[in-house]
């Protein structure tokens, strides 16, 4: 069986270094907001090319804290609208709702699965305050188009880069492309911790200070609270693990690109739609997603032939019970994508022989 992703296998590649890092923290006697977090924040901000990095509890909080910080500054207010792609993972949208703001769903481009910039302007109202874009599956959103729209309408541009650590556009990395960027280090992500973890990067000094404070009960100095904050801190053990894994991220992105290139070259079955990759540097292949009109049949066929796959994501947010109020809305591109996509195995422990095998099986599929 070729597994979709086996975290025991991928983490075992740097096992002794990871174990050493964890033991160092255990023995230090310092577990929250110490030098491991400081070190990771400084290496990750340097990696992204951003001025600041704030470690937080998870990717959802990273998004939510950015929005909350703009509310604290009086730039966003409850009831204001934020533009977001309709086919994202629901966390992006929930982080907007949590802040009492209104997510405005916009269809993705069927070829890239990222927000379609041609469909944004028609959704802008006098309550629109931001575009929150998502670099889905590891491919960057159309940044130049999004920047133009944000400038024209004076909107904040925020990105959810939970799937795009290390993607590069015009020489700049994710984390340094927008006003503020949210990262997740959930264990399955390209840079994954051994538990929950996340970060915000930004070049905005005041925003950085507010987010840092909000994530630690709104504290400015010990026991002095300026905001109604929450507890969303990156812990020392996860920071130590992430510092180890960050060293290997560039090599791992190259390995992912090689495997993805192999899929792109060798899948020749006409009933399978390959992802459109316009610039390889803008894609870090968090997921390798193909499309097929008979997706469920294809998925079963692959499983019968020893290949595990997954669907990211089978039910779009507007069709979820959590957003009952949207269930009647129609987003045909998003719905088509949800019905046809299939994520193939792609991870750093996958061998090129495994990819050949998956391609052979795929090429033998008949509709």
Ligand X SMILES: *Cc1c(COP(=O)(O)O)cnc(C)c1O
Contacts with ligand X by CB under 6 A lie at 58-60, 88-89, 91-92, 134, 160, 162-163, 184, 186, 196, 198
Nearest distance from C-beta of residue 67 to ligand X, angstroms: 13
Question: Whose Cβ is closer to ligand X: residue 187's or residue 294's?
Answer: 187
Nearest distance from C-beta of residue 163 to ligand X, angstroms: 5
- Residues 54 and 42: beta-carbon distance below 8 Å: no
Instruction: Please tell me which residue in 156, 173, 189, 245 is annotated as part of the active site.
Output: 189
- Residues 236 and 39: beta-carbon distance below 8 Å: no
Quote the CA–CA distance of 69 and 99 in Å, as a whole number: 10
Residue 235's contacts (CB-CB under 8 Å, 6 or more residues apart) are 31, 32, 37, 197
Bridge partner residues of 102 (DSSP)? 81
Nearest distance from C-beta of residue 182 to ligand X, angstroms: 7
Among 43, 294, 58, 236, smallest CA distance to 160 is for: 58
Quote the CA–CA distance of 238 and 110 in Å, as a whole number: 36
Tokens of 347: 């991870």
Question: Whose Cβ is closer to ligand X: residue 114's or residue 163's?
Answer: 163
Nearest distance from C-beta of residue 113 to ligand X, angstroms: 11
H-run or E-run covering 279: none
φ, ψ dihedrals at 199, nearest 5°: -160, 155
189 carries an active-site annotation:
yes
Nearest distance from C-beta of residue 140 to ligand X, angstroms: 13
Nearest distance from C-beta of residue 184 to ligand X, angstroms: 3
Quote the CA–CA distance of 164 and 178 in Å, as a whole number: 13
CA distances from 313 to 189, 192, 229 (A): 15, 20, 32
Half-sphere exposure of 55 (CA within 13 A, CB side): 28
Can you tell me whether residue 258 is helix, strand or coil? helix
Residue nearest to ligand X (CB): 59
Nearest distance from C-beta of residue 310 to ligand X, angstroms: 13
Quote the CA–CA distance of 343 and 273 in Å, as a whole number: 12
Among 244, 241, 243, 212, smallest CA distance to 229 is for: 212
Question: Whose Cβ is closer to ligand X: residue 7's or residue 23's?
Answer: 7
- Residues 106 and 118: beta-carbon distance below 8 Å: no
Question: Whose Cβ is closer to ligand X: residue 241's or residue 362's?
Answer: 241
Tokens of 234: 């990156």
Quote the CA–CA distance of 249 and 190 in Å, as a whole number: 8
Q: How many helices (H) and strands (E) does the chain have?
A: 12, 13
Tokens of 119: 């469909």
DSSP letter at 176?
S
Nearest distance from C-beta of residue 365 to ligand X, angstroms: 28
For the annotated catalytic residues, the residue numbers are 189
């Amino acid at each position: 069986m070729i597994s979709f992703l086996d975290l025991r296998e991928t983490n075992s590649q740097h096992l002794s270094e990871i174990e050493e890092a964890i033991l160092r923290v255990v023995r230090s006697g310092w577990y929250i907001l110490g030098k491991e977090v400081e070190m990771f924040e400084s290496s990750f901000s340097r990696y992204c090319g951003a001025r600041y990095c704030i470690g937080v509890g998870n990717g959802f909080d990273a998004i939510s804290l950015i929005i909350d910080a703009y509310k604290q500054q009086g730039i966003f207010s409850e009831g204001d609208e934020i533009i977001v792609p309709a086919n994202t993972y629901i966390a992006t949208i929930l982080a907007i709702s949590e802040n009492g703001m209104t997510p405005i769903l916009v269809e993705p481009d069927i070829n890239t699965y990222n927000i379609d910039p041609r469909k944004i302007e028609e959704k802008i109202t006098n309550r629109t305050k931001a575009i929150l874009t998502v670099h889905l599956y590891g491919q960057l959103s159309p940044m130049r188009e999004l920047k133009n729209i944000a400038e024209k309408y004076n909107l904040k541009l925020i990105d959810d880069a939970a799937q795009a650590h290390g993607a590069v556009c015009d020489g700049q990395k994710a984390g340094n492309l927008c006003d503020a960027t949210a990262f997740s280090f959930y264990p399955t992500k390209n840079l994954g911790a051994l538990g929950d973890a996340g970060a915000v990067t930004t070049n905005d000094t005041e925003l950085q200070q507010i987010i840092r404070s909000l994530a630690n009960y709104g504290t400015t100095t010990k026991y002095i609270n300026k905001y109604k904050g929450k507890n969303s801190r990156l812990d020392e053990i996860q920071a130590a693990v992430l510092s180890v894994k960050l060293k290997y991220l560039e090599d791992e992105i190259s390995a992912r690109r090689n495997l993805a290139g192999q899929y792109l070259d060798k899948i020749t079955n006409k009933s399978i739609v390959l992802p459109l990759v316009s610039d390889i540097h803008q894609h870090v292949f968090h997921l390798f997603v193909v499309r097929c009109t008979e997706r469920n049949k294809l998925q079963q066929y692959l499983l019968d032939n020893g290949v595990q796959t997954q669907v990211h994501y089978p039910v779009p947010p507007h069709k979820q019970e959590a957003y009952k109020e949207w269930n009647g809305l129609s987003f045909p591109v998003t719905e088509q994508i949800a019905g046809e996509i299939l994520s193939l195995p792609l991870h750093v422990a996958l061998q090129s022989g495994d990819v050949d095998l998956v391609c052979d099986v795929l090429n033998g599929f008949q509709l």
